[in-house]
Amino acid sequence: MGKVLGIFSAPGGVGKTTLAANLAWLFRESDYRVLLIDLDPSISLSWLVVKEQFHLIDYESKGRTITEIIRKIFDEEKEVDYKDYLISRGYPSPQDLELDLLMPDLKLTEVIDNLWINRPKRELIIDKVIRDLGLRDEYDLVIIDTIPFFDRKYTVMLIYAADRLLVPLRPTIIDVYRTQTILRSLPKASALSSDEIYSNIGLVFNMVRTTKQKESIPKYKDLMMTKLGNQLRFFDSSIGYYVSFSRIGTEEEVKGDRNTVKEKLRGLFEELREWI
């Protein structure tokens, strides 16, 4: 039975999308069957994986999207074969092993907003999609990327859908403060107990740039555990600052440095493999 790993965060820009793609790559190279689900209407993850913009527009206009899957399941109550919607691309470059992807479109927000108003058990929307499509039978690992918590619907749906939740944050006071505040609000927002939620969360410090930042991590961990209890899990490995693959940007960013990316993520990847 495959596992679902959800990625969410309190502040934006902490590296969720980059982690989703690069972790998928590492798991794929270790022979896991991996599916990426992009639940951010800004299609950052899909763009990173697909790269050609006109292909993204084409898929979107043809309704080859997770939005359409959700609409079919809930509005039309139809059976859906996810393979009709799947996009597969070599990542990080077209010559690499293919990653499977379900991409969103601009209507995702509207479709989710409507279901959120009208549906009982709305927190189970994504969970139902994963079950109805049989994704845990087809994949060893499903990685879901979302938008930050400012629209809490996505985080709540993710908590119900995922077996494990990866929460990146930067080693800064503001990220620690905001992440802590959001984690405290999750039991009320999701109607689950803090035990149920926190026992599935793993926090990882990302973009650790300076020695001073690295040294401040134990202090931040203590601070958060004092506020939230020590069932909170922090990965031992943090992620340094590095140039990853990017959809736009400098040539250096587009190419990335495969060895650097692997080296920076190796620790987290090994810990995740054990934990998942």
Ligand X SMILES: Nc1ncnc2c1ncn2[C@@H]1O[C@H](COP(=O)(O)OP(=O)(O)OP(=O)(O)O)[C@@H](O)[C@H]1O
Instruction: Give the residues lining the site for ligand X (CB under 6 A).
Output: 9, 12-18, 40, 44, 148, 206-207, 239, 241-242, 244, 246
150 binds, among Mg ion, ligand X, none (CB under 5 to 8 A by kind): none
| Residue tagged 């209890």 (tokens) | 229
180 binds, among ligand X, Mg ion, none (CB under 5 to 8 A by kind): none
The nearest distance, CB 241 to ligand X, in angstroms, is 4
What's the token pair of residue 165?
Answer: 């939740």
Closer of 82 and 154 to ligand X (Cβ): 154
Numbers of helices and strands, H then E, in the chain: 13, 8
Query: Which residue number has the CB closest to Mg ion?
Result: 17
The nearest distance, CB 78 to Mg ion, in angstroms, is 30
Task: Report the alpha-carbon distance of residue 159 to residue 125 in Å, rounded.
Answer: 11
Closer of 133 and 239 to ligand X (Cβ): 239
The nearest distance, CB 146 to ligand X, in angstroms, is 8
The nearest distance, CB 93 to ligand X, in angstroms, is 16
User: Within 42-81, which residues bind Mg ion (CB under 5 A)?
Assistant: 44
Contact flag: residue 9 with Mg ion (CB under 5 A):
no
Adjacency order of strands within the sheet including 3-7: 87-90, 98-102, 34-39, 141-146, 3-7, 164-169, 201-205, 233-234
46 binds, among ligand X, Mg ion, none (CB under 5 to 8 A by kind): none
Closer of 74 and 205 to ligand X (Cβ): 205
Closest alpha carbon to 257 in 244, 267, 266: 244
CB atoms within 10 A of CB 92: 21
Residue 251 Cα distances to 100, 246, 248, 254, 265, angstroms: 25, 9, 8, 5, 22
Stretch that binds Mg ion, among 12-20, 53-61, 83-91, 234-242 (CB under 5 A): 12-20
56: left (phi over 0), alpha (psi -120 to 50) or beta: alpha
CB atoms within 10 A of CB 147: 21
Closer of 190 and 206 to ligand X (Cβ): 206
The nearest distance, CB 18 to ligand X, in angstroms, is 3
Closer of 44 and 200 to ligand X (Cβ): 44
94 binds, among Mg ion, ligand X, none (CB under 5 to 8 A by kind): none
Asked if 34 and 143 touch (Cβ cutoff 8 Å), the reply is yes
- What value does the CA radius of gyration of the chain take, rounded to a whole number of Å? 18
Local structure of 146: helix, strand or coil: strand
Closer of 116 and 242 to ligand X (Cβ): 242
Closer of 17 and 244 to Mg ion (Cβ): 17
Contact flag: residue 16 with Mg ion (CB under 5 A):
yes
Q: Which residues contact residue 269 at a Cβ distance below 8 angstroms, ignoring those fewer than 6 apart?
A: 23, 26, 27
Contact flag: residue 155 with Mg ion (CB under 5 A):
no
Site residues, Mg ion (CB under 5 A): 16-17, 44
